């Protein structure tokens, strides 16, 4: 560990020196670097598919749709808009003859941690705004996805000098050692529990933080919707990546009397999507990342069943995979209703009054995402105006994250700060307010504030109305 700490210090000091050069780079230079990164990612696509297959058994379709396309799309979006975002913005001044401007400057030295569930996307997506805003940074990939961590380091080393972007691989000991360094900004994706530690450590140096955390994202289904239409939207997001998605629907509320139909349709979706000749088709279903998490999910299932839950679909394990599962009769006392599920288990709950559902949601920490399905705008408004969440999608799930003009992030326990698009650029920037006063001039307001104050107070008092 002594050697690792020495290496961290060396890289940190190198970047400390170099940040001033990077800070002065133009939009064109930054875009050129991002495009170089894109070219390397495209060249490495087969290796990326292979690494994610090794780490998560992730189907190639899911790697391309949810890891690669997000990153490539964000690079192109930055390439099209960065120049404009970097321009100083002039704002009205209250000082006669002066000019007021907001000048955007990089935060400086940044640290980015990623989680293991989208180990490629969650490392590279925040790197784009970090580079776009002109920062130097150290990346710490998740040790739980080692093949992707290793490949990410190779890609970064090929595109960037260590003095600008460096990857430090390792486990919790390395992650903790990095927190001792006085970074200007820490961008963390991971669990709420570790997020708290990050924020505490950041407090020592008063570093700003972005915390992209998790939580239990609820789905509310109004009675007047076409279940056949909406069930595939919910089920595809729940079982993609084996439910290991921060924004995955955690549990669903359906109107009393509609549960049976809802469960039947989810069962049909599972049958169509994940079975061939009654056998689980493991090529389209990701693995659970490791034994510890598989055991955690097994434990959640056992506990729920012991407290009265009925397994309607799935519940079995094969080759490190948990079958897509549906539960009913789940007690609120069960652990599965206390913690983020983060796996392919869908509790289907029932309600009679929407107000009860709203109360139940408000009794928990604010979730990262909230989803309401209804054709009735009043129902949508009732839910949105009486709850809070990082973001929300109406009549679908997860998709608000894919909108480049919407901020993506949590609120309180599901996170602090936001990114993607201009929101990421701002997150990695310091907005510096600069007032340009004329060096010489006849500004009566200026001399008014000079001592002696005699005779001036009355004039000042007239301004307090
Ligand atoms: P985690 O908190 O265990 O680990 C995340 C990162 O933190 C890893 O790089 C790890 O090495 C590092 N880390 C672990 N312990 C640390 C410590 N004591 N000090 C400093 N760093 C430490 O999270 P995870 O298990 O990788 O990810 C799952 C969680 O992430 C879920 O809760 C999920 O909802 C959340 N998540 C959120 C988003 C989002 O965008 N909001 C995206 C993906 C995952």
Chain-centroid distance, C-alpha 416: 10
Point out the catalytic residue in the list 62, 74, 164, 212. Answer: 212
* 190 Cα to the center of ligand 1, angstroms: 2
37 band by pLDDT with thresholds 50, 70 and 90:
very high
Question: What whole-number distance in Å separates Cα of residue 233 and Cα of residue 237?
Answer: 7
Instruction: Report the pLDDT averaged over residues 147-175.
Output: 97
Ligand 1 center to 371 CA (angstroms) = 23
Nearest-CA residue for ligand 1 atom 14 is 172
pLDDT at site 187: 98
Cα distances from 255 to residues 227, 373, 430, in angstroms, run 11, 12, 47
On the question of pLDDT at 344 being above 90, the answer is: yes
pLDDT at residue 87, rounded to an integer: 98
Lowest mean pLDDT among 274-278, 350-354, 423-427: 274-278
Considering only CA atoms, which residue is closest to atom 37 of ligand 1? 213
**C-beta separation of 98 from 438 below 8 A:** yes
> Residue 321 C-alpha to ligand 1 middle, in angstroms?
21
Determine the distance from the C-alpha atom of residue 186 to the mean position of all C-alpha atoms in its chain, rounded to a whole number. 13
340 lines ligand 1 (CB under 6 A): yes
**Ligand 1 in reach of 55 Cβ (< 6 A):** no
Domains in the chain, please, with CATH? 2-213+414-432 (3.40.605.10), 218-409 (3.40.309.10)
Please state, in angstroms and rounded to a whole number, the distance separating the CA atoms of residues 347 and 326: 6
pLDDT band at 212; cut points 50, 70, 90: very high
Tokens of 81: 């808009």
Output the pLDDT for position 438.
Answer: 82
Residue range 300-325, pLDDT digits in tens: 999 999 999 999 999 999 888 999 99
Residue 326 CA to ligand 1 center (angstroms) comes to 26
Task: Check if 190 has its Cβ closer than 6 Å to any atom of ligand 1.
Answer: yes
pLDDT at 97: 84
pLDDT at 178: 97
User: In which band, very low, low, confident or very high, does the pLDDT at 445 lie, cut at 50, 70 and 90?
Assistant: low
Q: Whose CA is nearest to atom 42 of ligand 1?
A: 246
Active-site annotation holder among 246, 340, 413, 427: 246
pLDDT of residue 464: 87
Percent of the chain with pLDDT over 90: 90
Our answer on whether the CB atom of 140 is closer than 6 Å to any ligand 1 atom is yes
pLDDT at 1: 80
**Test site for ligand 1: of 125, 190, 341, most ligand atoms within 8 A of the Cβ:** 190
Q: Is 343 in the pocket of ligand 1 (CB under 6 A)?
A: no
- State residue 96's pLDDT score: 81
Q: What is the DSSP letter of 419?
A: B
Structure tokens at 285: 């279903």
Is 142 close to ligand 1, i.e. is its CB under 6 Å away?
A: yes
191 near 113, Cβ under 8 Å?
A: no
448 Cα: distance to centroid of ligand 1 (angstroms): 56
Closest CA to 182 of 21, 63, 12: 12
Give, as one character, the DSSP assignment of residue 156: H
Give nearest CA residue, ligand 1 atom 15.
Answer: 172
- Site to substitute for ligand 1 among 152, 189, 400, most atoms within 8 A of C-beta: 189
What's the mean pLDDT in 184-203? 97
pLDDT of res. 228: 97
| pLDDT band of 440, cuts 50, 70, 90 | confident
DSSP string, 36-90: HHHHHHHHTHHHHHHHHHHHH---HHHIIIIIIHHHHHHHHHHHHHHHHHHS-EE
Catalytic residue check, 212:
yes
Ligand 1: which atom is nearest the Cα of residue 194?
Answer: 2
pLDDT of 204 higher than 80 = yes
* R_g of the chain, CA atoms, integer Å: 26
At residue 444 the predicted structure's pLDDT band, cuts being 50, 70 and 90, is low
Q: What is the DSSP letter of 376?
A: -
How far apart CA 327 and CA 336 sit, in angstroms, is: 10
Q: How far apart are the first and last CA of the chain?
A: 64
Of 332, 333, 328, which Cα lies nearest the Cα of 312? 328
Assess whether pLDDT exceeds 80 at residue 446. Answer: no
Q: How confident is the model at residue 95 (pLDDT cuts 50, 70, 90)?
A: confident
Environment class of 450 (CB within 10 Å of its CB; exposed 0-12, middle 13-18, buried 19+): exposed
- Token output for 150: 């290793």
Ligand 1, atom 9: closest residue by C-alpha: 142
Question: If we measure between CA atoms, which residue out of 327, 328, 316 comes closest to residue 278?
Answer: 316
**Mean pLDDT over all residues of the chain?**
96
For residue 29, the surrounding DSSP H or E stretch is helix 27-43
Query: Residue 12: its pLDDT value, please?
Result: 98
| pLDDT score recorded for residue 331 | 97
Whole-angstrom CA distances from 148 to 137, 188, 194, 343 are 19, 18, 21, 20
Q: Is 137 an annotated catalytic residue?
A: no
Query: Which numbered atom of ligand 1 lies nearest the CA of 390?
Result: 41
Q: What is the DSSP letter of 367?
A: P
């Amino acid at each position: 560990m002594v050697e690792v700490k020495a290496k961290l210090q060396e890289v940190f000091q190198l970047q400390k020196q170099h940040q001033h050069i990077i800070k002065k780079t133009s939009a064109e230079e930054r875009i050129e670097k991002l495009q170089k990164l894109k070219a390397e990612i495209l060249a490495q696509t087969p290796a990326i598919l292979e690494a994610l297959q090794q780490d998560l058994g992730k189907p190639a379709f899911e790697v391309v749709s949810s890891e690669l396309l997000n990153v490539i799309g964000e690079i192109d979006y930055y390439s099209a808009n960065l120049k404009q975002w970097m321009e100083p913005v002039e704002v009205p001044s209250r000082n006669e003859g002066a000019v007021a401007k907001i000048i955007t400057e990089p935060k400086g030295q940044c640290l980015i941690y990623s989680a293991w569930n989208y180990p490629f996307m969650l490392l590279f997506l925040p790197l784009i705004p970090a580079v776009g805003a002109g920062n130097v940074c150290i990346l710490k990939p998740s040790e739980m996805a080692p093949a992707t961590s290793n490949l990410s380091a190779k890609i970064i080393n090929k595109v960037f000098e260590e003095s600008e972007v460096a990857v430090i691989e390792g486990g919790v000991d390395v992650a903790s050692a990095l927190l001792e360094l006085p970074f200007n900004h820490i961008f963390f994706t991971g669990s709420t529990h570790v997020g708290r530690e990050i924020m505490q450590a950041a407090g020592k140096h008063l570093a700003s933080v972005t915390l992209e955390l998790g939580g239990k994202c609820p789905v509310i289904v109004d009675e007047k919707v076409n279940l056949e239409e909406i069930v595939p939207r919910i089920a595809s997001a729940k079982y993609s990546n084996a439910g290991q998605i921060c924004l995955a629907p955690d549990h669903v509320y359906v109107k009393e009397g509609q549960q049976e139909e809802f469960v039947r349709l989810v069962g049909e979706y599972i049958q169509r999507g994940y079975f061939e000749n009654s056998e689980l088709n493991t090529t389209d279903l990701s693995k659970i990342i490791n034994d510890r998490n598989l055991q955690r999910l097994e434990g959640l299932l056992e506990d729920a069943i012991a407290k009265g839950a009925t397994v309607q679909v799935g519940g079995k394990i094969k080759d490190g995979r948990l079958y897509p599962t549906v539960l009913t009769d789940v007690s609120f006392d069960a652990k599965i209703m206390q913690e983020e599920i983060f796996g392919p288990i869908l509790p289907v709950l029932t309600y009679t009054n929407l107000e009860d559902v709203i109360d139940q949601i408000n009794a928990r920490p604010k979730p990262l995402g909230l989803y309401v399905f209804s054709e009735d705008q009043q129902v949508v408004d009732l839910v949105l105006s009486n709850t809070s969440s990082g973001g929300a999608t109406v009549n679908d799930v997860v998709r608000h994250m894919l909108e480049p003009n919407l901020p993506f992030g949590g609120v309180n326990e599901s996170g602090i700060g936001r990114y993607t698009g201009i929101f990421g650029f701002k997150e990695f920037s310091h907005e510096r307010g600069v007032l340009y006063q004329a060096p010489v001039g006849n500004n009566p307001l200026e001399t008014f504030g000079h001592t002696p104050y005699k005779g001036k107070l009355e004039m000042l008092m007239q301004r307090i109305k």
